[in-house]
A and B are shown apart, each in its own frame.
Chain A
Amino acid sequence: MASFTLKSFTGLRQSSTEQTNFISNVPSSLSLPQRRTSLRVTASRASPNLANRKLRVAVIGGGPAGGAAAETLAQGGIETILIERKMDNCKPCGGAIPLCMVGEFNLPLDIIDRRVTKMKMISPSNIAVDIGRTLKEHEYIGMVRREVLDQYLRERAEKSGATVINGLFLKMDLPENWDTPYVLHYTEYDGKTGATGQKKTMEVDAVIGADGANSRVAKSIGAGDYDYAIAFQERIRIPDDKMTYYEDLAEMYVGDDVSPDFYGWVFPKCDHVAVGTGTVTHKGDIKKFQLATRNRAKDKILGGKIIRVEAHPIPEHPRPRRLSKRVALVGDAAGYVTKCSGEGIYFAAKSGRMCAEAIVEGSQNGKKMIDESDLRKYLEKWDKTYLPTYRVLDVLQKVFYRSNPAREAFVEMCGDEYVQKMTFDSYLYKRVAPGSPLEDLKLAVNTIGSVFRANALRREIEKLNV
């Protein structure tokens, strides 16, 4: 009976008074792998138009995810409020963005400080392999300063019509009904009230949580916890002659001394290098790992001065719940960081955009109230598009970051041209490109060979220990 009423009033109603009678529980035709058939979600077509106003959505967090979400929302005709606690936040971050991000988000080229076109992978026994021979002229990995990128995306959102507020989100009151608003409690900072700011509240229809790894929005909706890695980084200004080596080259160090389950890196930034490492399982030893990383790069950063020390958590996998009613998480708050490479900026921005697109579509450009099913569409689309990428990187991490022999094999494999081509293709364009089957077979044989040799050497080492 409910389905008949659906078609009649979609887009016709102007007032909201008689709506409640027609809201029906229509099991939506979502193609979810549902175990229980009773997961019932209302279809948004049944939602009424909002009376005399546009949909109000708050985006908490003004990083890449928040900025991209706010821009897409504002462009879609939705009343958007972006709340960011620190406008000049110099986020500790690797700062690498893939080529496709520049195109997809129309980033101006002056945001990119450096174009990395060469990488060096260094194994535990210091075997160094150069990567990047297969890159074409126009391909590069962009190194950006987070404060520059974040500010740019926020400004673009503001130009599209979003309101940007400098404030700290404290908590939010969840609504009881499908149409009552969320009440956000936040502290607004403006020049007049000084450092402590002013407590305020705001009512919005939906919330996008883009507030990073320690997301308060996630806590408010009980999204659950995730395992996270600690990334520790020191920014070191090195002499100019040493800097020319890192002109367009980034290094990755693997080894038990550098990290038991991640890698150490030297990334060039605008006028200094960032030397860092990370770990999930041995967080207490992070300083030791950092020293080891510095030791491995010692010759190349000789004479440098540390100008900044920073650390940040990196999520290892998505939170158990990435959305709840009309609140969705995006970016680091949702846990969209890949394994193996720890890449998060692009996925944060893309998920912010995807979520905002789902809201714009579900609300028909701000005219209707949305509900959970619209946000679930964003999750569906995200999982469908990127889950293969995440899975592949997870497998790579499990296989190749296990132990020193595995890492030696990894570095050996990276010397292969086919591997380099596939890796860069999938990294720069975020597509799992199908290679040629013959090459894949050769690659499989070579991988097994490398792993076998490295493990054989490990057995030899153990024999020497005895």
Chain B
Amino acid sequence: MSLSMALFSPPISSPLQNSNLTSKISLSLLSTKRFSLVSLTQASSSDNGTSATVSATTVEIPKPASPAKEEVPVKSPTESSSDETDLTTTTTTEIKFQDAKWVNGTWDLKQFEKEGKTDWDSVIVSEAKRRKWLEDNPETTTNDEPVLFDTSIIPWWAWMKRYHLPEAELLNGRAAMIGFFMSYFVDSLTGVGLVDQMGNFFCKTLLFVAVAGVLFIRKNEDLDKLKGLFEETTLYDKQWQATWKEPESSSSTVSSQK
């Protein structure tokens, strides 16, 4: 706590000095990313999902672009001098997400038609690409071009077909394999056939455990994740109840004095 007090008591002076350095570094980082994107947009005009880590080999790299904000004259004076020479002084020429099918802040479904019906799969893939782009290169929001796309316009069966069904197939396959071999194993050990196994309580419990296991533990990491999740759900409550679990020594001194 004293460390944080020391950190926070002079709020104005230190952050400004540090931010000089970090803002320069971060802005140059942002700008190098932009130039890798320039090459990306030039190279992939079609939807071929190349990763944004394609390096900028083909583009001549001018000086780093400065954000056209005047609010940082205090912090990084070098940027105002580069205003005149670089090419992306205004926001309109900044690298933004562009796509022929992305019109007015949403996907133009008419452009996704295949044989007269909208090809929802490609809508989903395009939206995923857009999100990936934005994750790697966060953009500013503007009031002129608000993003209005709502994923719920894609019908539920498109999602099911693409994501739920393959996974369901996988899990059902696992459950079936486990079920077959477990019932064979139990039969060979005890001589109880499949139909009779279903009538036995212990076997039913085993079945329940097997189904739950297949559902919840799909990858190796899931085991640890589930343990962490359980701890997480109870942690906040524990923190609140901590004050009620006083050790005896404190309260016993309150009583008994003569």
Contact = CB atoms under 8 A, between A and B. Distances in A.
Contacts of B125: 460
A353 B15 CA distance: 35
Interface in A301-341: 301-306, 308-313, 317-325, 339
A282 interface: no
Contacts of B5: 214
B167 to A, nearest CB: 9
A398 B22 CA distance: 30
Contacts of B22: 287-288, 291
Pick from A36, A228, A291, A449 the residue with the most CB of B within 10 Å: A291
A372 B127 contact: no
Contacts of A126: 134, 139, 141, 147
Contact of B69 (A128, A245, A303, A317): A303
A107 interface: no
A372 B12 CA distance: 41
B236 A391 contact: yes
A236 B256 contact: no
A429 interface: no
Interface in B121-161: 124-125, 127-132, 134-135, 138-144, 146-152, 154, 156, 159
B258 A20 contact: yes
Nearest to B243: A322
Interface stretch (B173-181, B194-202, B244-252): B244-252
B254 A372 contact: yes
Contacts of B150: 127, 412, 415
A297 B51 contact: no
Contacts of B252: 40
A383 interface: yes
Interface string B184-212: 00000000000000000000000000000
Interface string A434-466: 000000000000000110111011011101110
Interface string B15-28: 11011001100110
Given A287-B22, A313-B8, A456-B159, A292 B138 contact: yes
A300 B18 contact: no
Interface in A329-373: 339, 371-372
B11 interface: yes
A124 interface: yes
A224 B148 CA distance: 47
B93 interface: no
Given A214-B4, A309-B19, A454-B151, A300 B142 contact: yes
Contacts of B159: 452-453, 456
A306 B70 CA distance: 10
Nearest to B74: A306
A297 B67 CA distance: 12
B248 A35 contact: no
A303 B90 CA distance: 12
B109 to A, nearest CB: 16
Contacts of B7: 311
A64 B22 CA distance: 35
Contacts of B152: 412, 449-450, 453
Contact of A41 (B27, B254, B256): B254
B243 A321 contact: yes
A36 B248 contact: yes
Given A124-B135, A287-B18, A465-B132, A309 B151 contact: no
B131 A25 contact: no
A296 B74 contact: no
Contacts of A371: 254
B100 interface: no
A296 B138 contact: yes
A235 B79 CA distance: 21
B141 A291 contact: no
B254 A391 contact: no
B163 to A, nearest CB: 4
Contact of A306 (B71, B129, B146): B71
A219 interface: yes
Contact of A124 (B70, B131, B241): B131
Contacts of A305: 70-71, 73
A464 B128 contact: yes
B139 A40 contact: no
Contacts of A228: 4
A32 interface: yes
B132 A461 contact: yes
B11 A309 contact: yes
B226 interface: no
Contacts of A219: 1
Interface string A7-45: 000000000000011010100000011111011111000
B240 interface: yes
A196 interface: no
Contacts of B240: 317-318, 383, 387, 390
A384 to B, nearest CB: 12
Contact of A299 (B130, B142, B156, B256): B142
A319 B258 CA distance: 33
A295 B65 CA distance: 14
B42 interface: no
A372 B138 CA distance: 53
A302 B11 contact: no
Q: Residue among A126, A288, A415, A450 with the most chain B CB within 10 A?
A: A126
Interface string A218-241: 010000111010001000100000
Given A125-B134, A258-B138, 4 more contacts: A122-B141, A214-B1, A310-B12, A372-B254
21 contacts: A39-B248, A39-B251, A40-B255, A92-B11, A213-B4, A232-B15, A236-B71, A287-B19, A296-B139, A301-B69, A304-B70, A310-B12, A311-B15, A319-B242, A319-B243, A408-B131, A449-B156, A453-B154, A464-B49, A464-B129, A465-B51
What are the nearest 9 A-B pairs in CB distance?
Answer: A460-B128, A298-B140, A25-B255, A299-B142, A320-B242, A317-B239, A257-B138, A456-B163, A304-B71
Interface of B: 1-2, 4-5, 7-8, 11-12, 15-16, 18-19, 22-23, 26-27, 30, 49, 51, 67-75, 91, 124-125, 127-132, 134-135, 138-144, 146-152, 154, 156, 159, 162-163, 232-233, 236-237, 239-246, 248, 250-252, 254-258
